[in-house]
Amino acid sequence: VPVIVLASLALTSCRSSRSSGAPVPAGGPVAMVRDPVPTQRLVPAPTSLTVAGGAPFTLRDSAVISVGSDNPALMPDAELLAGVLRPSTGFPSQVVMGNEPPPGSILLRLASTGMGSIDAYQLTVRPERVEITGSDPAGVFRGAQTLRQLFPANIESHMRITGPTARWVVPALTISDAP
């Protein structure tokens, strides 16, 4: 009942503004604007988050999770992430070794994050690739957990999601964090 009342009020408000000559918001009378970066879902809040703007990253069935060639210690983190993505997406989310994964993939690697802390990570999301760089394997793990939170909530489903809610999109951004 409360939802119907709110919708009714929104429609009444739009009709009133139309008939009064007031401008109608872009996108139609009942435009819903969704925050492109679900920062309220990020727990804990990261030290730094910069929205890049532009096109988001879209996870597709051809995506692989690549572990840097010189970082075999990250294979368990890659398998864990793949284990989260596979059930809800139905994608194979193959885990491979290599520094240059194909477009649309996720790369996990160890390198300095510039934060001078153990467990630090940088998560960079671009339309062509997601890259999680950790100062150590724990940092990569933390970055992968943040990536999980950036996907729509139904990424955590243990059953395949189909239809219009099966959009696996993450906004273009960079997150740096350290505990």
Q: Is the pTM of this model over 0.85?
A: no
Q: Which two tokens stand for residue 151?
A: 């996907």
Quick: pLDDT tens for 53-102.
Answer: 889 999 999 999 999 889 999 999 999 999 999 999 999 999 999 988 89
The bridge status of strand 57-58 relative to strand 169-170 is antiparallel
Quick: pLDDT tens for 24-52.
Answer: 334 333 333 344 555 667 888 898 999 98
* Burial label, 147 (beta-carbon count in 10 A; 0-12, 13-18, 19+): buried
Is residue 133 a contact partner of residue 144, using CB atoms and an 8 Å limit? no
